[in-house]
Amino acid sequence: MTTKQILYPNTKLWMAAIKPPMYSVAIMPIWVGTAVAFAETKNFNGAVFSTFIAAAILILAWENISNDVFDSETGIDQNKHHSLVNLTDNKPLIFWIGNLCLGLGLLGILAIAFWQQDLTVIGIILLCCGLGYMYQGPPFRLGYQGLGEILCFFAFGPLAVEAAYYSQTQTWSMTSLAVSVIVGIATTLILFCSHFHQVKDDIAAGKRSPIVRLGTAKGAQLLVWFTASIYPLTLLFVLLGISPAWTLLSWVSLPFAVKLCRHVQENHNQPDKVSNCKFIAVAVHFWACLLLGLGFML
């Protein structure tokens, strides 16, 4: 065996464990909240924006790293070769790296609170972290009851977008609350998609994910409705005068949405084939949210 043959599968496993594309999920609510704030006030604080983005990435890193730690305790990740705990065989190290990310992320948010002399943003982000913990940590493990999608919607939608808006303006806005629903749905699609290929392992570990509860065929149908809901919602907000017409640019993500729905409809019960669907959902989320925010900036 050559060095390349030995290292390559390992590199692939590490990339799957770190999931770089997933971090756009942390960036988009901050981007959209900040874009709405700019559209309404014409003010932009670059230091607050960049600190918030870095902190959000670190907090999401904590969520993912601690997910591997907590899942190693329930046995659900037994066959997940790209679990950080399985890769390193060192649970305490992974646990403390996760906590370090959380600490650094919260420090960034604390800096924003200090600059603003206002605890609102740190309060909201602590609530998000609480939801993130309840998703996977003992004794709650609400994700195992199929409640993760609700937590995900509120954390990445209304809470994160409003926190970003507030970090720029120190006020609230109905517009940012309305568009946060779109960001929340787009993010929740990713979590929903992540369950299709894991039904067997989830059932074995007693995890009742929405796909375990509904079955893969019904899950695939529901996915179509949720994915499709983003586009009329964007149009509705434009027609109601809540969002500028440029936000319809987010419809450019439609080909990815069609690809996602077709792919899941055709392969919902074939774990090997459907396993990449969450990354198609990441593309839907990325383009829909990027262009939604841009629509407010133009």
Ligand X SMILES: O=C(O)C1=CC(=O)c2ccccc2C1=O
Binding residues (CB under 6 A) for ligand X: these are 19, 22, 25, 60, 63-64, 152, 187, 190-191, 194, 278
Residue among 110, 285, 113 nearest 186 (CA): 285
d(CA 77, CA 116): 42
The region of 37-45, 85-93, 144-152, 229-237 touching ligand LFCQNMSN under the rule CB under 6 A is 144-152
Closer CB to ligand LFCQNMSN, residue 205 or residue 258?
205
Q: How does DSSP assign 102-125, residue by residue?
A: HHHHHHHHHHHHHHHT--HHHHHH
Q: 179 near 248, Cβ under 8 Å?
A: no
Closer CB to ligand X, residue 53 or residue 190?
190
Angle at 196 between CA 260 and CA 269, to 5 degrees: 90
d(CA 30, CA 121): 12
Q: Which residue has the tokens 């756009």?
A: 24
Binders in 184-203 for ligand LFCQNMSN, by CB under 6 A? 191, 194, 198
Classified as helix, coil or strand, 98 is: helix
Please select the residue that binds ligand LFCQNMSN; options are 32, 35, 71, 243, rule is CB under 6 A.
71
Please select the residue that binds ligand LFCQNMSN; options are 39, 53, 122, 131, rule is CB under 6 A.
131
144 binds ligand LFCQNMSN (CB under 6 A): no
Closer CB to ligand X, residue 80 or residue 243?
80
Closer CB to ligand X, residue 39 or residue 124?
124
63 binds ligand LFCQNMSN (CB under 6 A): yes
CB 188 to ligand X: min, Å: 7
Q: 38 near 168, Cβ under 8 Å?
A: yes
